[in-house]
Amino acid sequence: TDVVTFADIEQLANKADIEFLATRYVVTGTSDTTFEPNKSITRAQFGVMIARALNLTPTTETYYADTKGQWYEADIQALYEAGITNAPGNFNPGATLSREHAAVFMHRVMSYIQKENVPAATATAYADQEKINASYAEAIATLNSLGIMQGKEGNVFDPKGNLTRGQMAKVLRKTLEAIDMM
């Protein structure tokens, strides 16, 4: 198989992660030649990538009214059925994905595949620890301990910060490798 690559990822540290996932049809570019790695990723885009990576398909009627009739409807429904997303009400597909939400999605992916075999870490000591939603702290600590998703310079996690498309590729690939899916 020819490696799928993009002109705008040449200098990136995580170029190989993007190419790895693109070649396997898990991620797509924003055009034939661009990936836009520094662009924030939406909840819908991330959801579609997870569903593709796990090869999930829905079996019931769409739960989220705000995904009905959209290009990502089936993928988001499949994630809902798998318990990877469980937000009540709306999915908010167009909203940008925060770093803490990305961590929780990845933790749920691990739990879905490995059931009770996901190692649990309980604490991190980021300088901005108090900004992390308490219900997401275990997911963040676990991904941190496994080297899947770490903080940023200055020992901050930046939980409300947006995950970029380039960062997403790295986090998703590391998660899939940790659960032997890739």
pLDDT in tens, the chain (182 residues): 689 999 999 999 999 999 999 999 999 999 999 999 999 999 999 999 999 999 999 999 999 999 999 999 999 999 999 999 998 889 999 999 999 999 999 999 999 998 767 777 878 899 999 999 999 999 999 999 999 999 999 999 999 999 999 999 999 999 999 888 77
Measuring CA to CA, how many Å separate 76 from each of 4, 31, 99, 117, 149?
A: 25, 23, 19, 25, 23
pTM over 0.85: yes
Burial 160-178 (b: 16+ CB within 10 A, else e): ebbbbbbbbbbbbbbbbeb
